[in-house]
Amino acid sequence: MQVERPVELTAFGQDGSGVCATLRHQDGTEHLAEAAYLIGCDGARSTVRRALGIPMEGESHGVQWQTADIRIDWEHDGQYMLLHFSENGFAFIMPVDDGRWRLALGVQGVRVDKAEDLALEYMQDLLTNKLPLTPACTMPAG
């Protein structure tokens, strides 16, 4: 199995033999994929959950996710995903591809309403000043 990015699930259907999903690639081309199962792991705006009429349950704890794919000049070689905690929130950092890392920050009391406000300098400020990083654990990236 290979993970493809960026690919969007646009439709799916199920019958007795499994699931058929329509996938759209960044260049606009679409293809059908067949599988035994379809798992919706796509967050609060889940295409799968919405299509099945499954509500998003849970509570907000005042933490808004900030996510960016960036290049980081540091000693980590991409063999591990990193999870950091502080009293203000957490950072999840995982290798993506081509030397880039996905940075997902959950910071207490910070709210950004427009994507254009998520500049590199803003993310750096969150890491440096709001989440003084203390490694909590690492896990293999594969």
pLDDT at residue number 135: 45
pLDDT at residue number 136: 44
pLDDT at residue number 69: 84
**7 CA to centre of own chain:** 13
Q: What is the DSSP string of 32-99?
A: EEEES-----S-TT-HHHHHHT----S---SEEEEEEEEE--SS--SSEEEEEEETTEEEEEEE-STT
Residues 6+ apart with CB under 8 A from 51: 11, 12
pLDDT at residue number 1: 61
Q: What's the CA gap between 141 and 122, in Å, rounded?
A: 26
Query: What domains, with CATH codes, occur in the chain?
Result: 7-52 (no CATH), 63-140 (3.30.70)
Q: What's the CA gap between 50 and 32, in Å, rounded?
A: 20
pLDDT at residue number 111: 66
Closest alpha carbon to 107 in 94, 124, 82, 90:
90
Average pLDDT for consecutive 10-residue bins of the chain (142 residues)?
A: 80 94 94 90 80 80 75 79 81 84 80 65 75 53 56
Burial class (CB in 10 A: 0-12, 13-18, 19+), 126: buried
Residues 6+ apart with CB under 8 A from 14: 20, 38
pLDDT at residue number 134: 47
The dihedral sign for the CA sequence 48, 51, 53, 56? positive
pLDDT at residue number 141: 59
